[in-house]
Amino acid sequence: MELPIVNSDQQRHEQPIATAPYRRRYSHRVYVGDVPIGGNAPIAVQSMTKTKTADIEATVHQIQRCADAGADVMRVTVNDWDAAEAIAEIVRRSPVPIVADIHFNHVFALKAIQAGVAKVRINPGNIGSRERIAQVLTAAKERGIPIRIGVNSGSLEKDILEKHGYPTAEALFESAIRHVEIAQDFGFDDIIISVKSTDVRLMIEAYRMIAERTNFPLHLGVTEAGTTRVGTIKSAVGIGTLLAEGIGDTIRVSLTDEPEEEILVGKEILRSLGLAQRSVEIISCPTCGRIEVDLFSIVRQIEERIKSIRKPVKVALLGCVVNGPGEASEADIGIAAGRGVGILYRKGQVIRRVKEEEIVDAVIEEILNFVPEENNNHDTHS
């Protein structure tokens, strides 16, 4: 099922921002604030606040932490009147575009749009009468903001679930397209789609189906993935598989943890596939009996200090003389350590010897002073 999209207001934005290093599915582009989603734009990483939205200070603080970790977009629930009253101030103070997460109540969607959110996550078929749907879609269109249609395997419509017997990829696809067609009936097509599931295989199959049959930008995620360890693995498998196939335009890792941890995992998934052009990549050895420095501590300290650094740098931290010199010399910045000292490399050249206790500061200094090659420094949103 091919769903053509025409939006004359945004045709001027259709030139690709970045060329991916693999064959990527080309999708219609929409804008979430100043962040492009789809149309071969860099893949955006997002999370969702876990505070009570009415607590403006706590919510803004959490958003700032996520922005510092590299978030491109943040989602905030607007689930009651107190949240609806708070959203305008949150939008005003946020360093990144805000998405309003709405379920069922069209009035909250209207208030969020009026407050200046950059996107609304709402399913048109769940907000009541055609008049209510028209109000929300008209308001979004007038403000030039997209909506995300989000379908989860755990909340499929009763008739679709009865038709298919249980959540299937076809059921997720059918539910998403039902909401898409409602929006298109009102002339609205600035749409992003997600078809999430806690079942990684089902999620992959559903996204493949949507990708094959539509040209909408896709928001990838494994819903309710679990604790940090388990959720990271499930998300890396599900999101990573699709990204490796060229499917996906924005991602959210769902963890039972602080939202900035979701951002860091999401960035690492992108980095592992060569899709995060503005982040520090750490390569470190697993260590063995040959180790002669406290590499665990060195790596942890460096990881903590680079969280807010957005620069395409590959850093190798190796703890012995077997693989260390070769790996360190192949990275942008490298340390090959042994017997309480480290040899510091920059672009394959030995710079100097540093004592073990000086390694962290020396590496951070090199990262901050490193000048990336011009052709690697084109991504402003990943």
- Residue 104 vs residues 101, 121, 319, 327, 377: alpha-carbon distances, Å: 10, 11, 55, 54, 42
pTM above 0.85, yes or no: no
Walk along the chain (382 residues) and give the pLDDT tens digit of each residue.
444 444 434 433 444 444 445 689 999 999 999 999 999 899 999 999 999 999 999 999 999 999 999 999 999 999 999 999 999 999 999 999 999 999 889 999 999 999 999 999 998 878 888 899 999 999 999 999 999 999 988 888 899 989 999 899 999 999 999 999 999 999 999 999 999 999 999 999 999 999 999 999 999 999 887 889 999 999 999 999 999 999 999 999 999 999 999 999 999 999 889 887 677 888 888 888 778 889 999 999 998 898 778 888 889 998 876 666 777 778 899 998 888 899 999 998 999 999 999 999 999 999 999 987 754 433 433 3
User: Rounded CA gap, 282 and 237, in Å?
Assistant: 20
Residue corresponding to tokens 């990549």: 281
Residue position matching structure tokens 């922005």: 67
Q: How many CB atoms lie within 10 A of CB 19?
A: 9
What the chain holds in terms of domains, given with CATH numbers, is: 8-272 (3.20.20.20), 280-376 (3.30.413.10)
